[in-house]
Amino acid sequence: NDTLGHAAGDAMLVHAAEVLRAQTDADMFVARIGGDEFVVFCTGRDEAALAALAGRIVEAMRKPVVFEGHECRFGVSIGIARGARCISGDEAVGKRLLIDADIALYRAKKRGRNRYEFFTQALQAEIVETKKLADDILRGMENDEFEAFYQPQFDARSREIVGVEALVRWRHPNLGLLTPDRFMRVAEQLNVVSA
């Protein structure tokens, strides 16, 4: 869309749909759910079969596509969720599977292009914990719970102080004094850290 226009973007969506159609079986349901996101729904496949399907999709999507003389390349990230057999009309199960697949997709994107990830309970627990920590960080900023600790820097030869390094600490109301290794990664993701 940005470099070749919306017609090129539309052509890439058509290509993605064709790849998905070619890689899936007749009993699988394929749909575009928005933007550049697609969903494949299938039943009766074990983890190995789903991994093989995802691998075939990744490889097929990696092949360049020519649009009006321009070679276009793009990657794909896939989130896979497995669950109990959906009962016809059971919206809650379908919604839960989509949420779980989205969590796995988030992990796949975070780890880089052209990969797939399975949803696991451990992954969900990690996401929930990260969300809780992010909420705590924002609340902690509102309540002035972050403090600067100053550490002198010495010249090794003269032993004179040549500078001071500022180190952040978080006086968490329940967990006590926390060092940056406990919160900095999430704070950076929130974009609340300035240089």
Indicate which residues carry an active-site annotation: 36
Instruction: Tell me which amino acid residue 17 is.
Output: A
DSSP labels for 40-98? Answer: EE-SS--HHHHHHHHHHHHHHHHS-EEETTEEE----EEEE---SPPPTT-HHHHHHHH
Q: Are 88 and 79 in contact (CB under 8 A)?
A: no
DSSP labels for 27-48? Answer: T-EEEEEETTEEEEE-SS--HH
Q: Which long-range contacts link 171-174 to residues 24+ away (Cβ below 8 Å)? A: 171/145, 171/146, 171/147, 172/136, 172/140, 172/145, 173/145
> Secondary structure of the chain: what % helix, strand, coil (to 5)?
45, 25, 30
Phi and psi for 43 in degrees, rounded to 5?
A: -125, 160
